[in-house]
C-alpha cells in the first residue's frame, strides 16, 4: 500500500453496554495493529460516560467520532454520515446494528467512489432491522452494493431466508481472551462476600436486563435451587436500557436471596475468572461475545438452545437445555451441579481449546480483513 493509509470506518449507533459494541471496540483495536491501517470508530449518538462503554477500552491509535444523533428517527444522520464519509474517503465502511441503513444515502451519493461496504448481522435478521430497513437492505445486498455478514450458523440461516438470492458471508464472532485486570482481587472479594461459604458455587450471567435475555427463567430456577438447599448463587452483571425500566422493576420482586444484581462493571473478566459456570437463559441470541469470553476463561456454560449457542454448547463444552422452559433449564443446571469435578475440568479445557481454534478476535479479524482487501 506504500505510504497511503488504508482507511477503515467501523460504525455503531452508540457504544452501549452490549456484546456487539464490545466486539466493535475489540475489532478496532485488532485492526489498528495492521501496518498502514487507519481505523475510525463512529458512534451516531454522542458518548455519555457511565451510560456507554468506557473509551479507555479503545486503543489510542483508533480515532473516535460521534455524530450527535437524536433519540428516535433522525433524518440529519443521512446527511452527517454522507458528509463525514465524503471527507474521510474510506477504503472500507463496516456497519453494525441499525447504523447500516443510515448509510444508504451516502452509498448512493458516493456511487462513483469505490470503497467496500460491509454490514454485520449481530442477531437473527428480523431483530437486526425493522421491516423497512430490511426491505432497503435487500436492494443494496442484491445489487452487490453492501456485503452482508452473519456471525453464526443460526444467524446465517435466518439471513438466507430473509435475503434469498443475496450473497451472504459467514464469519463467526470473535473476542479478546479474558485476562485478570488490576481490579481482580476487588472482584474476588465482592463475590466472596456474597457466598455462604468457601464451597458456594457461583453462576455468572453477563447480559443487559431485557425481555430477550429472559432473566425471569433464571430467577425461577434459582428460587427452586434455593428451596432445595443447593449451595449456589447467581451473579448478574448488566443494566437495563432506558425503555426497559418497567421490565426491570417487575423482575425485582421475583428475585430470590441467592441471586445478586451488580449492575454494569468495567472488569467483567475478573468476575468471569471468579465464577464456576456461565449462564444464559435467553429466548433468542446471535453469537454472544460474553459466551466466547467465558470459554476463553474456562468457565463452563449452561445455556438455553437459541441462536449460535446451539452450535457451540455441545456436550463436550457445557450444558444446553432441551428448550426454553423452566423444567428444561432447571434440569440443565442440575446436570451441571451433579457433574464430577474431573469431568468439569475437562469441559473447561475443551472450551478454552475451542475458543483458541475458532473464536479469537485475532482469527476473526483475519477473515474480515480478507473481505476488506479482496
Does residue 216 lie within any of the structural domains?
yes
Considering the domain architecture, whether residues 196 and 93 belong to the same structural domain is answered as no
Does residue 110 lie within any of the structural domains?
yes
For the chain, the straight-line distance linking the first and the last C-alpha, in angstroms and rounded, comes to 14
List the chain pLDDT tens, one digit each, 374 residues. 457 899 999 999 999 888 899 999 999 999 999 999 999 999 999 999 888 988 999 999 999 999 999 988 899 999 999 999 999 999 999 999 989 989 999 999 998 889 999 999 998 898 888 888 899 999 999 999 999 999 988 899 999 999 999 999 999 999 999 999 999 999 999 999 999 999 999 999 998 888 889 999 999 999 999 999 999 999 999 887 767 778 888 888 889 999 999 998 989 999 999 999 999 999 988 888 899 999 999 999 999 999 889 989 999 999 999 999 999 999 999 999 999 999 999 999 999 999 999 999 999 999 999 999 99
Taking a C-beta distance cutoff of 8 angstroms, is the pair 304, 288 a contact?
Answer: no
Considering the domain architecture, whether residues 365 and 348 belong to the same structural domain is answered as no
Considering the domain architecture, whether residues 164 and 277 belong to the same structural domain is answered as no
Does residue 1 lie within any of the structural domains?
no
Considering the domain architecture, whether residues 295 and 309 belong to the same structural domain is answered as yes
Does residue 206 lie within any of the structural domains?
yes
CATH label of the domain that carries residue 307: 3.40.50.2000
What is the value of pTM for the model shown? 0.81
Considering the domain architecture, whether residues 46 and 131 belong to the same structural domain is answered as yes
SS3 call for 93: strand
Does residue 129 lie within any of the structural domains?
yes
Considering the domain architecture, whether residues 101 and 194 belong to the same structural domain is answered as no
Considering the domain architecture, whether residues 234 and 318 belong to the same structural domain is answered as yes
Considering the domain architecture, whether residues 20 and 148 belong to the same structural domain is answered as yes
Considering the domain architecture, whether residues 25 and 61 belong to the same structural domain is answered as yes
Does residue 179 lie within any of the structural domains?
no
- Considering its fold, how many domains does the chain have in total? 2
Taking a C-beta distance cutoff of 8 angstroms, is the pair 176, 262 a contact?
Answer: no
Considering the domain architecture, whether residues 251 and 307 belong to the same structural domain is answered as yes
Considering the domain architecture, whether residues 345 and 364 belong to the same structural domain is answered as no
SS3 call for 126: helix
Does residue 164 lie within any of the structural domains?
yes
Taking a C-beta distance cutoff of 8 angstroms, is the pair 326, 217 a contact?
Answer: yes
Distance between CA atoms of 36 and 194, rounded to whole angstroms?
48
Considering the domain architecture, whether residues 353 and 225 belong to the same structural domain is answered as yes
Full DSSP string of 29-66: HHHTTSTTEEEEEEESSPP-BTTB--GGGS-TTSEEEE
Taking a C-beta distance cutoff of 8 angstroms, is the pair 142, 161 a contact?
Answer: no
Print the domain residue range for 192: 184-358
Amino acid at each position: 500500500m506504500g505510504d497511503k493509509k488504508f482507511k477503515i470506518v467501523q460504525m455503531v449507533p452508540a457504544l452501549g453496554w452490549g456484546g456487539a459494541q464490545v466486539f466493535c471496540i475489540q475489532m478496532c483495536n485488532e485492526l489498528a495493529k495492521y501496518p498502514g491501517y487507519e481505523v475510525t470508530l463512529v458512534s451516531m449518538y454522542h458518548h455519555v460516560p457511565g451510560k456507554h462503554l468506557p473509551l479507555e477500552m479503545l486503543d489510542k491509535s483508533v480515532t473516535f467520532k460521534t455524530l450527535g444523533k437524536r433519540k428516535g428517527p433522525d433524518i440529519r444522520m443521512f446527511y452527517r454520515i454522507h458528509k463525514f464519509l465524503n471527507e474521510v474517503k474510506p477504503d472500507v465502511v463496516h456497519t453494525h446494528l441499525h447504523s447500516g441503513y443510515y448509510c444508504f444515502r451516502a452509498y448512493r451519493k458516493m456511487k462513483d467512489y469505490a470503497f467496500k461496504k460491509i454490514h454485520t448481522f449481530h442477531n437473527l435478521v428480523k431483530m437486526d432491522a425493522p421491516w423497512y430497513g430490511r426491505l432497503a437492505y435487500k436492494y443494496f445486498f442484491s445489487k452487490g452494493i453492501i456485503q452482508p455478514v452473519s456471525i453464526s450458523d443460526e444467524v446465517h440461516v435466518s439471513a438466507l431466508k430473509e435475503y434469498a438470492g443475496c450473497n451472504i458471508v459467514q464469519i463467526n464472532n470473535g473476542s479478546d481472551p479474558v485476562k485478570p485486570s488490576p481490579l481482580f482481587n476487588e472482584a474476588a472479594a465482592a463475590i466472596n462476600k456474597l457466598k455462604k461459604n468457601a464451597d458456594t458455587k457461583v453462576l455468572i450471567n453477563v447480559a443487559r436486563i431485557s425481555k430477550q435475555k429472559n432473566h425471569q427463567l433464571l430467577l425461577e430456577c434459582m428460587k427452586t435451587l434455593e428451596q432445595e438447599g443447593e449451595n449456589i448463587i447467581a451473579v448478574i452483571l448488566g443494566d437495563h436500557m432506558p425503555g426497559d425500566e418497567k421490565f426491570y422493576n417487575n423482575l425485582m420482586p421475583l428475585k430470590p436471596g441467592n441471586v445478586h444484581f451488580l449492575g454494569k462493571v468495567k472488569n467483567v473478566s475478573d468476575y468471569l475468572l471468579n465464577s464456576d459456570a456461565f449462564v444464559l437463559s435467553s429466548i433468542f441470541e446471535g453469537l454472544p461475545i460474553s459466551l466466547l469470553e467465558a470459554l476463553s476463561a474456562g468457565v463452563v456454560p449452561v445455556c438455553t438452545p437459541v441462536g449460535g449457542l446451539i452450535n457451540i454448547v455441545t456436550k463436550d463444552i457445557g450444558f444446553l437445555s432441551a428448550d426454553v422452559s423452566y423444567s428444561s433449564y432447571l434440569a440443565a443446571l442440575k446436570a451441571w451441579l451433579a457433574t464430577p469435578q474431573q469431568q468439569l475440568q475437562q469441559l473447561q479445557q475443551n472450551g478454552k481449546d475451542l475458543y483458541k481454534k475458532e473464536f479469537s478476535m485475532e482469527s476473526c479479524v483475519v477473515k474480515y480483513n480478507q473481505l476488506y482487501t479482496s
